[in-house]
Amino acid sequence: MVIKPKVRGFVCITAHPAGCAANIDEQIAYVKAQGPLPKGPKKVLVIGASTGYGLASRIAAAFGSGAATIGVFFERPSEPDKPATPGWYNSAAFTKAAKAAGLYAKNFNGDAFSDALKTEVLAAIKADLGQVDLIVYSLASPRRTHPKTGVVHKSTLKPVGQSYTNKTVDTDKGIVSEITIEPASETEIADTQAVMGGEDWEMWINALDEAKLLAPGATSVAYSYIGPSVTWPVYKNGTIGLAKNDLERAAKSINATLKCNGYGRAFISVNKALVTQASSAIPVVPLYISMLYKVMKAKGNHEGCIEQIDRLYRTQMYGGTGLLFDDAGRVRIDDWEMQPDVQEAVAKLWPEVCTENLSALTDIAGYRTEFLKLFGFGVPGIDYEADVNPHVELGG
């Protein structure tokens, strides 16, 4: 099968196995080039491990400190005439590379919110690893079937309290326009919290704790985002931001649980805005990212997921200064994004950008390249005219 990108709005419905595998190789090479991380994690569970920040967390643990990893994700395998999702190909390539390096790697493709999957994962930890010393919670999901009530909650990306009007970009067509988003209802606010808040993270940790599968001193981290005030109505102060507040609440309660368990810890790391499948679905944010990339690349401190997580591990979690918390008790690996000169430069660009000058004033080209790369396209060295087998075993 010759596989070409088919972009539909903010998703690409095809993915290229060889391109995804090359992306994994690139991330592994980056981590190896930074040298070993001797104090790094050894037995790691990553929930949301197949793309974006969770995938980077898995790769940095495996190839930084030789960790055994269990990855949980929700991906679609290939069908007779349809390629799999990128997270499937990413996980297959990761697993192959980890095993070639002599590392344990096991995958669970299913619904992380369900009790059934949790039970399966716990059994594998017990049988194969004994305990885990790092649990990364990196889910980004549009919906959650609640395991106790059976209710299906859908998350929304809306402002709270009042409507929000601002510029947005159709990244595919390169058109800048104004968008007005109506405020969320109380039900939408509660539903988004049920999907993207902290309850499921707590359920995972409580289940691991009860089964005595947490190593003494175990760490757990979940990821959040804050960003500049221009996006706050749709992010920080919107439905997703309120859900993230609940994730912060959960971090405190999980921290208390882990503290009792040999001085473990749980915290939120606030990460940089990056092109991922999750962020491309948020209105306004892709336009901000296009400007941010332009400014940070010019400054020379642009990072992707792997650079962010590798820096988090090396400079705070497993070396360097140790954890540094902001006033609200969060780790800020978005520090370079939030530097005043970076934010001032973006704020200056914001009112000026329109369809006509989008390419000149922003890194929309870089955004598109990164977006296609998420699906394994536009990767140097890959022959996209060649016939490729879309049916790849997940392994592990």
312 binds ligand NAD (CB under 6 A): no
Write down the least CB distance from residue 36 to ligand NAD, Å. 25
Write down the least CB distance from residue 145 to ligand NAD, Å. 8
Q: Using CB under 6 A, pick the residue from 95, 271, 316, 362 that binds ligand NAD.
A: 271
Do 270 and 368 touch, CB atoms closer than 8 A? no
The residue (of 20 and 273) whose beta carbon lies closer to ligand NAD is: 273
Spatial CB neighbours of 392, under 8 Å, sequence gap ≥ 6: 17, 78, 84, 88, 89, 92
Q: Which of 89, 225, 235, 293 is catalytic?
A: 235
Q: Which residues pair with 168 in a beta bridge?
A: 177
Closest-by-Cβ residue to ligand NAD is 52
The residue (of 215 and 273) whose beta carbon lies closer to ligand NAD is: 273
290 binds ligand NAD (CB under 6 A): no
The residue (of 164 and 204) whose beta carbon lies closer to ligand NAD is: 204
Q: Which residue is associated with the tokens 């196995």?
A: 17
Strand order in the sheet with 265-270: 105-109, 68-73, 43-47, 132-137, 214-224, 265-270, 331-332
Task: Let me know if 235 is a catalytic residue.
Answer: yes
190-229: contacts with ligand NAD (CB under 6 A): 223-225
Q: Using CB under 6 A, pick the residue from 48, 233, 264, 376 that binds ligand NAD.
A: 48
85-114: contacts with ligand NAD (CB under 6 A): 87, 111-113
CA dist., res. 73 & res. 84, Å (int): 13
- Check residue 79 and report its DSSP letter: B
57 binds ligand NAD (CB under 6 A): no
Q: Using CB under 6 A, pick the residue from 14, 27, 95, 138 that binds ligand NAD.
A: 138
Q: Using CB under 6 A, pick the residue from 41, 54, 66, 159 that binds ligand NAD.
A: 54
The residue (of 120 and 261) whose beta carbon lies closer to ligand NAD is: 120
Write down the least CB distance from residue 296 to ligand NAD, Å. 13
- Check residue 27 and report its DSSP letter: H
Do 14 and 76 touch, CB atoms closer than 8 A? no
65 binds ligand NAD (CB under 6 A): no
Spatial CB neighbours of 121, under 8 Å, sequence gap ≥ 6: 45, 70, 72, 108
371 binds ligand NAD (CB under 6 A): no
52 binds ligand NAD (CB under 6 A): yes
Spatial CB neighbours of 103, under 8 Å, sequence gap ≥ 6: 62, 66, 67, 68, 69
| Residue span binding ligand NAD (CB under 6 A) among the ranges 32-40, 138-146, 186-194, 359-367 | 138-146
The residue (of 22 and 247) whose beta carbon lies closer to ligand NAD is: 247
Fill in the per-residue mask, 8 to 47: x = in contact with ligand NAD (CB under 6 A), - = not in contact. Answer: ----------------------------------------
Full DSSP string of 276-336: -TTGGGSSSHHHHHHHHHHHHHHHT----HHHHHHHHIIIIISSTT---B-TTS-EETTTT
| Residue span binding ligand NAD (CB under 6 A) among the ranges 157-165, 205-213, 229-237, 266-274 | 266-274
Which residue pairs, CB below 8 angstroms and at least 24 apart, start in 229-233? Answer: 230/166, 230/284, 230/288, 230/347, 230/350, 231/284, 231/285, 231/288, 233/159, 233/162, 233/164, 233/166
- Check residue 170 and report its DSSP letter: E
3-state secondary structure of 164: strand
Write down the least CB distance from residue 311 to ligand NAD, Å. 14
Q: Which residue is associated with the tokens 């940070």?
A: 296
CA 149 to chain centre: 27
245 binds ligand NAD (CB under 6 A): no
Q: Using CB under 6 A, pick the residue from 44, 45, 273, 291 that binds ligand NAD.
A: 273
Active-site residue list: 235
Give the footprint of ligand NAD on this chain (CB under 6 A). 48-54, 72-75, 87, 111-113, 138-141, 223-225, 271, 273-274, 276-279
